[in-house]
Amino acid sequence: MKKIITFTVLILMMTTLATTTAKKNKVIFFGDSITQMGVDKGGYIDRLKNDLQSKGQGDQYELLGAGIGGNKIYDLYLRMPEDVLDKNPNTVVIWEGVNDVWHKSWGTGTDLDKYEKFYVAVIKKLQAQKIQVIVTTPAVIGEKHDGSNPQDKDLDTYSDVIRKLSKEYNCKLVDLRKVFIQYEKDHNPENKESGILTTDKVHLNATGNQLVADEMRNALLIKN
C-alpha cells in the first residue's frame, strides 16, 4: 500500500513539474545591435532576467536575445527560420528600424515601402506559427527632444508604420519612440544629443537599458 501511495505521489509530482515547464513563456527579443547588447551584463534583457529571478518568477519565463549588429528588417526576415522559428518561442519582440533609417545616410538604409513589406512578412510568418508578436518603435538616433536630430522625421514616419501595423495585425505595441522623447523632455533640459539614455546617440546606457527593461516588462504583463 505504501509503495502504491509513494508511486502515486511521484507521478503527481512529475505531472506538476511537466505542466510547470510547459507553461514557461519563451520570449525571443529579435533585433539589431541594441538587442545584441541587451543580453550583456546590465543590458535590458539581462536586467529583466535578474528582475524575474529576484521576484521568484525566473521559472516562468525564458528570455533569449536574437540581435545582430547592423541588421535591418530584411536581415531579420532572412534569418528568422534559424534564429527564431527553430527555437519554438511563445512570444517574439521585434525591435528593428534604427539601422533602416540611420544607414540611409550612406545609401544602405531601407526605403519606407520596403520596410513595411518586410515587417509585414515577419509578422505574418510568426503569427502563422501561433506566436505572440510584440512590435517596438525605433527609439532615437540622437537625444535632442526638439525635433532637431537629423533622422527625427524619418524615425517618426517609420514609427507610424509600426503603430499602424500593430493595429492591423493585432500586435501589442511597445512605443519606445514616444517613451524616449517624453523622457528626454523631462530629463534633458540642456537638449544634449547623447548621455541621457544612450552612450552614442543610439546604444543604451544604464538608464536607457532600465527604461527599456521596464517597458518590456509591462508589455509581457510581468508583475512588478
Residue 38 lies in a domain: yes
Please give the tally of structural domains in the chain: 1
Residue 189 lies in a domain: yes
Model pTM? 0.89
Domain assignment of residue 179, given as a range:
25-219
Res 24: pLDDT: 87
- Measured CA to CA, the distance from residue 54 to residue 51 in angstroms comes to 5
Residue 2 lies in a domain: no
Output the CA angle 142-92-115, nearest 5 degrees.
50
Residue 198, strand partner residues: 204
Sequential pLDDT tens for the chain (224 residues): 555 545 444 555 555 554 444 578 999 999 999 999 999 999 999 999 999 999 898 899 999 999 999 999 999 999 999 999 999 999 999 999 999 999 999 999 999 999 999 999 999 999 999 999 999 999 999 999 999 999 999 999 999 999 999 999 999 999 999 999 999 999 999 999 999 999 999 999 999 999 999 999 999 977 65
Residue 20 lies in a domain: no
Output b/e per residue, 39-69; b: 16+ Cβ within 10 A. beeebbbbbbbebbeeeeeeeebbbbbbbbe
CA 176 to chain centre: 10
Residue 12 lies in a domain: no
Q: Count other Cβ atoms within 10 Å, centred on residue 195.
A: 14
Residue 53 lies in a domain: yes
Residue 204 lies in a domain: yes
Residue 5 lies in a domain: no
Q: Backbone phi, then psi, for 102, in 5-degree steps?
A: -55, -45
45 and 39 in contact (C-beta within 8 Å)? yes
- CATH number of 82's domain: 3.40.50.1110
Question: Which residue has 549588429 as its cell numbers?
Answer: 69
